[in-house]
Structures are given as C-alpha cells and as structure tokens.
Structure 1
C-alpha cells in the first residue's frame, strides 16, 4: 500500500470511527462528513500531483542542464578544431606560396641554364638564321683567329667548321673568310679556288664584289695578269657603283 493510500485509509477510519461508535448521526451530517473527507482526499491528491510534477520538472531540468553542458563542451571542442584547421590551412597556404616561389626560381634558373643551349637567331650579311650554340662558338673563334692575323690557324678553323656544319647559315660567310685567311697565308691557289666556289653559289651575296676583287688580287700575286684583268673587268661590269668596283678600276689601270 502506497503512502497516500495509507493516509486516506487512516483519514477514513478516523472520520467514521466516532460516528460508528456513537451511532447517532443523521443523513445531513453523514453527507457533510463525506464531503469533508472528499475535500481532504482531493487536496492530498493535488498535493501529490504537484509534488510528482515538480519532481518530473526537476528531472527534466537536470537532463536539459546535462545536455546543455554537453553541447557547450562539444561547441568548445568544435571551436578548438576549427582554430586548428584554420591554422593548418594558413600554414598550407604559406607552404604553397613558398613552393610556388621556389618552383618559379628553379624554372628561371633552369631557363637561364637552358638558354645557352638553345638555338640563337643570328643576322649576318643580309640574312637571318638560327644557329646552335656550339656552331656560333666555333664561328666566332675562327673569326677571332682571323682578326688576330693568325691566318693558318683561322683557315684550319674555317675548314673544320664547314666539315662539321655543312648546312650552316654561316656557310657562305665562312667560305668568304676562308678565302681571305688563305690569301693572308699566301696560299693563293687555294684562295682562288675558295673564292670561285663562293661566287659560283653566291653571285648576289653582299660580299660577292669583295670576293671577286680578292680573287683578282690572288691572280696578280701569281703574276697571272690576263686572268686578273678579266676578273677586274667582270667585277666592274657585274657590281658597278660598289667600293670594290671602284678599287677594281684603279687596280685595272695599274696593270700593264
């Protein structure tokens, strides 16, 4: 039996016992006693309901407080994780930027190292063409020998160049300077052959008139006056108005 039931039973017994012992109550008094008893019972039931309701509310509030505390802890953990992720993202961004800069520097350095190995555009004697770095280096080295008056070494360098780079854009110019190097070392017959090959393939070359004048000079050195006169006459006719043609006229007039 619950506490409330025991209380109600006690109240009922306490209310009815005096009347039962006396046996002297009428209907009106009985109804009044019953109503009083019912009122007390209702009050007790209401009090019990309120107590139970308050207990339920307290329990619910306790659950809510625990849930709120858990949510607060989770929120704090999320904040900490978000801060960590932001820091990691910022670090990744810095690392990525550093990597990009290093890569750009490496590419720039690579391009700088690669550039000397790439073909270079050259403009020479009225035409443009591309040459390999080694091709350009050997040509300039041979020209350096010629400028220093080292004619034999220059001739060898030009001949080696033509063998190695047989289709070079430098080819025509190299043949012209080879003839001059041979002339400089007094290899006149070789120079004549070189100049003739040059003129045969390059009659319109910017240095053709100079080559024909040099050929005539070689013939003069060999005392072949007849051939020299013909070369000078051909020069004056083919390339009038050039400095070489003017020099040819003067040289032609000096020949007997």
Structure 2
C-alpha cells in the first residue's frame, strides 16, 4: 500500500492551524493562573487586613480599657470630692449660722450689760458754771436734797446736805451743797451754824459764782444775831470784792440801813 503523501500546501495549512491553536491554549492557561494568583493575593490581603484589624482592636482595647477604668475612677473621685465639698459647704454654712448666732448673743449680752452698767457710770454735769463728773449715787442724793430745799423743807434739806458732804467730801457738788446747806440752816434760823457753813464755803471757793450771795447771806446771819460790826465788815468785803454783782447792790442797801 502506498502511503499517502500530503501536498505541501495542505501541510502548511495544518501547521498554521496548529500554531494558532497553541497560543489560544497558552493564553487560557495564563488567564486561569493570573485569576488564581489574584484570588490568592486577595485572600492573603484579606487575612492581613483582618489580622491588622485584630491587632489594632487588641491594641486599642488594651489602651482604652485602662483609660476607661481611669476615667471611671476619676469620675468616682470627682463625685466623692463633690460630696465632700457639699459636706464642707454645709458645715461652713452651719458654722456661719453659729457664728452669727454667737455674735448676736454677744451683742445682746453687751447691750444688757451696758444697760445694767449705765446707771453706774459717771455722768458729766454742769452746775454753777462748772462741769464735772459725778457718780449716779452722788447725783441722786444731791438732787434729792435740792428737792427738799425747793420745797422749803429746811430740816430735811439740812440733814440731807450734811449727809451728802460726809458721804462725798470731794464731790464736784461739794461747794454747791455747802452753799445750800448754809441757806437751809438760815431757813432753820440756825444762824451760827449757817455762819460757819458760809465761811467754810467762802474759804474753799472764794471765786465761786455764788460767792457774792454767800457773803450777803453771811452778813444777814450776823444781822439776825445782832452782830452789827461783823455784818458791816462782811458787807464791805462783799462790795469791795464783787462791786458789780447784784449781791453787792443789795449789800449797799443793807449797809446803809445799818448806819
């Protein structure tokens, strides 16, 4: 049997077809490999991403949890401090109320004490052109005695004024008390006692505003006792010492009547 022989043209065509088929199969193979490589790459990338997220989550969790606990502890401390502050504020308010109550009580006690002490405090008085301080007792006894003088109760007035001078010998009232004692004794017609009192008054306070009246009263007592010589001398001394006083004018009239 004769073997079949291909014509050169057919042979060339077959070769061309085979050559064309081979690249197609190679290209198909290459596409599958590339797709598989891409899928593998995507899988690995996804795994890497998930691992990265897990590490980040773990890292964040490790950092956030202590921070969260710290914040919670801080909030607890803040609340505790708020409670302490509120407690202290309440204590301060109570202390302020207690202090206010104490101050008010002290003021009330001070006012009450001043009220009790006020009657015992020295008082400034002005009498016969002079100012001086006296105790409440001095003023009370002196005013009482002067009330008796004004009523004409000379016996009681003389006793009260004598008692005053013994109780308060250095009082600012002493000169005036002595002057009015002489007048009360004159009203009692105790002329000798009155003379002694007026002389003591003039010896102690020769410049007293009532000295001219005392000298005239002294002369009147001497006239009542018929001691004209002494009366004349007292009137002359009055006119000489206090020439412009009303007592001196009255003394001139009394002196003229004695002549």
TM-score, normalisation: structure 2? 0.74
| Structure 2 match to 1:100 | 103
Q: In the TM superposition, what whole-angstrom CA distance separates every residue of 1:102-152 from its partner, at most 9, and x where no partner exists?
A: 323332332232222122222222322222221222111111111111111
Partner secondary structure for residue 237 of structure 1: helix
| Structure 1 match to 2:162 | 159
Partner secondary structure for residue 125 of structure 2: strand
Matched, 1:147 2:114: no
| Partner Cα separation in structure 2 for residue 237 and residue 53 of structure 1 | 128
| Structure 1 match to 2:22 | none
Matched, 1:200 2:203: yes
| Structure 1 match to 2:253 | 250
Matched, 1:222 2:225: yes
| Partner Cα separation in structure 1 for residue 244 and residue 46 of structure 2 | 140
1:30-45 → structure 2 map (5 Å cutoff): none
Question: Max radius of gyration: which structure?
Answer: 2
Report the CA distance between 1:41 and its aligned residue.
10
| Structure 1 match to 2:70 | 67
Partner secondary structure for residue 189 of structure 2: coil
| Structure 2 match to 1:88 | 91
| Structure 2 match to 1:121 | 124
Report the CA distance between 1:45 and its aligned residue.
8.9
Matched, 1:178 2:171: no
| Structure 2 match to 1:30 | none
TM-score, normalisation: structure 1? 0.74
Report the CA distance between 1:231 and its aligned residue.
1.8
Partner secondary structure for residue 124 of structure 2: strand
Q: CA RMSD in A?
A: 2.8
Report the CA distance between 1:46 and its aligned residue.
8.7
Structure 1: 5+ residue runs without aligned partners? 1-39
| Structure 2 match to 1:136 | 139
Structure 2: 5+ residue runs without aligned partners? 1-42
| Partner Cα separation in structure 1 for residue 207 and residue 68 of structure 2 | 103
